[in-house]
Each structure stands twice: as structure tokens, then as C-alpha cells.
């Protein structure tokens, strides 16, 4: 299998550390399926190294984890990696999934104008709920678990050969299922906040570009 993907995983604060943890399932799936990838974790998630890889290796799929604005995706210690109308040409011919606040509202559009095949992201902040007592052990945080399932479904669907449109639709279906689960009559008080942010993320998840774009042919 010749196709490869790039994944960024900054770890400098508690919120991005959750995304880093969630990404372990994506990496394990790729390894189990012998899908090639390059992991830019921690300090490696910097503009110089990511730019060099995008230019020389030209991965077909890019998964960004990190903070964001409407025009910037950040990496390690909030160093800008991709900036609208500055270096978004780096995403040309690529499928992108960005778990970063707001970036689909502007950056996704300008990247598409520069030739990005498909950009899946969020037009508003990507929110999730954490259990304050589990911040140091995100693998045991049950409040954050539904957000991992919802977000990871996009990447996992793409790695299974689904189109960008199918990947978004699959993630949306996961969100709908989870919303029903957390709406039970015996729901815990904390579930109200989980429902709010799940609905928020579901509503503001956006696909820009070619719905038919695929990472893999299976």
C-alpha cells in the first residue's frame, strides 16, 4: 500500500493532550492495516518539519490535531502550521481533517481555493467535556469518550476507504447515536453538558470540497 498520511499531535496543554490520546486509536488502526503514516507528535508538530514533509512526501491525507482560529491551524506550543492565504497551498491535492477550532470557516475555504481536495473541520470551536478528576489519565475519562468516538470516526472512515462525504456522514451518525444515549431518562446531570457539546460539534462540522475524494481505494 503506497498511500500515506500525516498526523500532528501537539501535547503542550491538557486539551491538545486529549486529542493526542484519541489519536492513538487511529495510529493503531493504521498499523494493524499496514497503512503508512508519519507522526508529528509533541515538538515535531512545528511549522518547519511539517512544511518539509508536506512538500517532499506529499501525503494524500493530513490529520491535524491542535488549537485553531478561523485562519490558522496551530502545532506545538501554538506555533502556526497552516495559515490562510499564506501557506495553505501546502494542502493542494490533499484530504484534510482538522480537529481545530473554527478553521473550516475560512482556512478550509481558502485551502480549497488553492486546490485542497476535501477539507473536513469545524466552523466554530470544537468543544468537549472533561472530567476534572481524570485530566491526567484521559483514557479513564468517560465524559470525554463520546467526543473521541465522534471525532475519530472521520479519520477511521477515511482509512477504511470511505469518501470524504461518507466519512462526515458516518461521524454524524455516531453523534446522533451518542446524543440518544446521553438523553436517557436516568441520565446523569453531567450528560446535559455532553449533549450540548456533541450537538454543537455535530452541527458545526463541515465538509468543503470534493465529497467523492478518497484516501484509499479498497
Q: What is the pLDDT of residue 212?
A: 98
Q: Which residues of the chain have pLDDT under 50?
A: 1
CA dist 51 and 56 (Å) reads: 9
| 30, β-bridge pairs | none
Which set of grid coordinates corresponds to residue 4?
500515506
pLDDT value at residue 185: 65
User: What residue spans of the chain are helical by DSSP H?
Assistant: 14-32, 47-57, 107-113, 145-159, 164-181, 191-204
Q: What is the pTM of this model?
A: 0.96
Q: What is the pLDDT of residue 1?
A: 43
Structural domains for the chain = 4-209 (3.40.50)
Per-residue pLDDT at 81: 98
CB 81 within 8 A of CB 201: no
Amino acid at each position: 500500500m503506497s498511500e500515506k498520511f500525516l498526523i500532528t499531535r501537539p501535547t503542550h496543554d491538557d486539551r491538545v493532550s486529549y486529542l493526542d490520546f484519541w489519536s492513538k486509536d487511529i495510529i493503531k488502526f493504521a498499523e494493524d492495516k499496514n497503512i503508512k503514516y508519519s507522526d508529528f507528535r509533541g515538538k515535531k508538530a512545528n511549522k518547519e518539519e511539517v512544511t518539509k514533509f508536506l512538500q517532499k512526501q506529499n501525503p494524500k491525507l493530513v490529520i491535524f490535531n491542535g488549537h485553531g482560529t478561523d485562519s490558522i491551524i496551530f502545532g506545538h506550543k501554538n506555533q502556526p502550521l497552516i495559515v490562510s492565504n499564506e501557506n495553505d497551498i501546502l494542502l493542494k491535492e490533499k484530504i484534510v481533517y482538522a480537529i481545530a477550532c473554527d478553521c473550516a470557516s475560512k482556512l478550509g475555504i481558502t485551502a480549497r481555493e488553492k486546490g485542497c481536495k476535501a477539507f473536513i473541520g469545524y466552523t466554530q470551536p470544537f468543544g468537549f467535556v472533561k472530567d476534572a478528576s481524570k485530566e491526567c489519565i484521559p483514557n479513564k475519562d468517560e465524559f470525554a469518550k463520546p467526543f473521541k468516538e465522534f471525532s475519530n470516526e472521520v479519520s477511521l472512515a477515511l482509512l477504511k476507504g470511505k469518501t470524504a462525504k461518507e466519512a462526515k456522514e458516518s461521524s454524524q451518525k455516531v453523534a446522533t447515536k451518542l446524543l440518544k444515549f446521553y438523553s436517557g431518562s436516568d441520565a446523569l446531570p453531567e450528560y446535559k453538558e455532553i449533549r450540548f457539546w456533541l450537538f454543537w460539534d455535530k452541527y458545526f462540522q463541515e465538509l468543503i470540497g470534493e465529497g467523492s475524494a478518497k484516501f484509499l481505494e479498497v
